[in-house]
Amino acid sequence: MAPRTRRDTAHALDTKAIAGVDKYLVNAASVAIRGTDYAPTDLKVLLQAEIDADKALDEARAEVRQLMAAAAEARAKAAGIRRGLRTYVLATSGPQAVQMLDDFGFSKSASVPTVDAKAKAVAKAKATRDAHQGSTPTPANAEPSAPPAKPTV
C-alpha cells in the first residue's frame, strides 16, 4: 500500500467537506468565509476544483512518462540505425570516403598512432618531467626539512 500524501489527505478532506455542504448547508442562502460570501454550490465547485486539477495533473504526468519512454525507445533505435548506416558506408565506400561520411554526419575513424608518433609523445613527456623536476611540490605527508619557527612572545 502506498503511503498517504498531502494530496491524498486534501482529497479526502475535500470529499468530506463536499458531503458536509450537501448535508448541512444545502438550504443556506450563503456562507461567509474569510469575509467572502459563498453559495453552497460555489463551495462545492471550489472544493471539487482541487480534486479535478490534481487528477488532470496526474494524467499529464502519466502522459509525460509515456512520451519519455517512447522518446527513449526511438532514440535507442535511431542510434542503432546510425551505427549500422556508418558500418554500411564504411563497408561499401571505405574509410577514405571522408566527404561521404561527413555528409551522413559521421566523423572519420580515429586513426591509430604510429610508432614514430608514440615515440615523439614519450620523448615530449620525458622532457616536460625533466623541465619541472625542481618545481615539483612535496607531498603533504612528507617531513619538513626545517622545524617551524617558534613564535616570539
Q: What does the alpha-carbon distance between residue 13 and residue 10 come to, in Å, rounded to a whole number?
A: 5
User: Is pTM beyond 0.75 here?
Assistant: no
> Is residue 89 a contact partner of residue 49, using CB atoms and an 8 Å limit?
no
Q: What is the mean pLDDT of residues 77-87?
A: 94
Q: Residues near 37 by Cβ (< 8 Å), separated by ≥ 6?
A: 30, 31
pLDDT at 3 over 80: no
Report pLDDT digits (tens) over 107-124.
Answer: 766 667 888 889 999 999
Distance, in Å, from the CA atom of 44 to the CA atom of 15, rounded to the nearest integer, reads 9
Sign for the CA dihedral angle at 21, 24, 27, 31 comes to negative
SS3 state at 139? coil
| pLDDT tens-place string over residues 48-66 | 999 999 999 999 999 999 9
The pLDDT of residue 57 is: 95
